[in-house]
């Protein structure tokens, strides 16, 4: 899943080298923390948060074997 998130975000931004996706494992959830360059933050969030919400929907739609929830956090 981390590679999929990284691939999608790299295609959205102007500076794909600055994209970093880290995984934070918790007992009940897995969080994907996306870090992009300051000038690309708006491209990842999108107008009204549409792109960010679509990315969150993609991540949540993947079934998990262990029943943990998946989430996405975006920062610059």
pLDDT tens column, 5-51: 999 999 999 999 999 999 999 999 999 999 999 999 999 999 999 99
Task: Compute the distance between CA of residue 27 and CA of residue 69 in angstroms, rounded to an integer.
Answer: 10
Residue 74 has pLDDT above 90, yes or no: yes
Which structural domain range is residue 39 located in? Answer: 2-75
Q: What is the pTM of this model?
A: 0.88
Helix axes 50-61, 2-12, angle to 10 degrees: 160
Give residue 76's pLDDT: 83
Alpha helix positions (H), 1-76: 2-12, 41-45, 50-61
Give residue 65's pLDDT: 80
The total number of structural domains in the chain stands at: 1
Tokens of 1: 């899943």
CATH code, 56: 3.30.300.20
């Amino acid at each position: 899943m981390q590679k999929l998130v990284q691939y999608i975000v790299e295609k959205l931004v102007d500076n794909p080298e600055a994209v970093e996706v880290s995984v934070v494992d918790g007992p009940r959830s897995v969080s994907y923390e996306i870090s992009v360059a300051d000038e690309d933050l708006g491209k990842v969030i999108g107008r009204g948060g549409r792109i960010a919400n679509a990315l969150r929907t993609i991540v949540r739609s993947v079934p998990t074997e262990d029943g943990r929830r998946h989430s996405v956090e975006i920062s610059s």
